[in-house]
Structure 1
């Protein structure tokens, strides 16, 4: 069964961004999503009203996840899914802290609370085809928080893998490829980096609305080794003269 996934840091709404504030970009983000038509999207930095704005523009998508401050408060690392194609079997969210069930909790010098949202999905027309998605946004300040956070996520993946289902990890990991967070993931025999099938230099995925391509990625999609990877895209296109976010979305086409 073929599937298209996307990871997309939306850039939280900041009025000081002026013409790059969310009200000027909501249509552009929706247009980017429509262009690639992903079944699953892991987003980062989405406030509740940003998600509802997208819902108005993308009525065929629902989402799972809550704000990192609890409920609808704070940024979401939500997972959007095409409701006519996919159904949710189970879902959850945990905080990347020593108190993982406490909304708004943080540890290890993290500048903000950080979460991982996960979902167990199945295709409606092929219910025997099911899979897990884990989506996160690691801390941008504390390396210890990044390292501890990714180990927590891997531990949860391990408990779910008693069911031996295909899985994907999406997110803004705030780590370039040489960082121990990424080398830790690449050391796992069960994981494949979606960039492994991208020809040439990957380039930067964070560009601060400049479109800069020099540098290294911090946005990633990893897949279970059983997943067949077909194509990875870093979309660097402007829409009507400007970028939809300060991050380039990353898209993976695969089969499970």
Structure 2
């Protein structure tokens, strides 16, 4: 059975300059996930209450991930019918993975959610990481990427990373991550959708900062930046979600 992973920065609830408030967007977010039916979902800019709202609308997914003491986290959703949970953890992107303070030049403490699953169709074990790297601290992004790369190397089986990495292709953090895993967009024949993933409701602001990285053993088949809109043409967030599909290892 095909494995798929979707990453989506859903935009914090309660920001003053948001054109459409979360209660008017959550059904669009959940509907998009339901339609594309990913095996694994990684969300960013997600308050605990936002995850609760998505959970209520998507009972077919089980959600994991601790918060960083302010009620915000980077949850992973796992499709109940397709996977069995093996293990879960949350660790901080810092020299000490239990240190909840901002590390290096980061503006905020940054964490990673990690879930190990087995696919029910094949019994294949798979590790999924989900992150939201610091928007301001370049060193923090680079050091966080190094920590993640070391983690990836510890696994014998395939690994998927989803996240808003707040860095563009060619940046140091991107190159570190791409040294550990493949940027799926660069390894499929015909990637679908726009190159950019963040749009900020303004085409002039558009840039590519949201990624699905994966072990090459997963054999990526498709990569898409999803420009899905609600019935009134409203975008559910200031980022487009990204979804990738893979053939599991034989």
* Map of 1:59 onto structure 2: 59
1:64–1:4: structure 2 CA closer, same or farther, 3 Å change rule? same
For residues 213 and 223 of structure 1, do their structure 2 counterparts lie closer, same or farther at Cα, with a shift above 3 Å needed?
Answer: farther
Distance, in Å, in 1 between the alignment partners of 2:3 and 2:84 is 14
The aligned counterpart of 1:119 is 115
Is contact 1:85–1:124 with CA below 8 Å preserved after alignment?
Answer: yes
Cα deviation, residue 28, structure 1: 0.6
TM-score normalised to structure 1 length? 0.90
What RMSD in Å do the two structures reach over aligned CA positions? 1.8
Corresponding residue of 1:206:
198
1:83 equivalent in structure 2? 80
Q: CA contact under 8 A between 1:99 and 1:105: conserved in structure 2? A: no
Task: Please list every run of 5 or more consecutive structure 2 residues that lacks an aligned counterpart in the other structure.
Answer: none
CA offsets, 1:27-85, max 9 Å, x none?
Answer: 0101110121111001111111101101111011111111122xxx4321111011122
Task: Report SS of the residue matched to 1:204.
Answer: coil
- Equivalent residue for 1:175? 167
Deviation at 1:247, TM superposition (A): 0.5
Q: Which residue pairs with 1:30 in the alignment?
A: 30
Q: State the match for 2:131 in structure 1.
A: 136
The count of residues paired between Structure 1 and Structure 2 equals 245
Per-residue CA deviation, residues 139-198 of structure 1 (Å, 9 max, x unaligned), is 000000000011111112222x1xx1111111000001021111222234xx22111124
- Which residue in 2 is equivalent to 1:227? 218
Gaps of 5+ in 1: none
Please identify, of 198-207 and 108-117, the stretch whose mean Cα deviation from structure 2 is larger.
198-207
Contact in 2 for aligned 1:203/1:214 (Cα 8 Å): no
Judging changes above 3 Å, is the alpha-carbon distance between structure 1 residues 213 and 55 closer, same or farther for their aligned structure 2 residues? farther
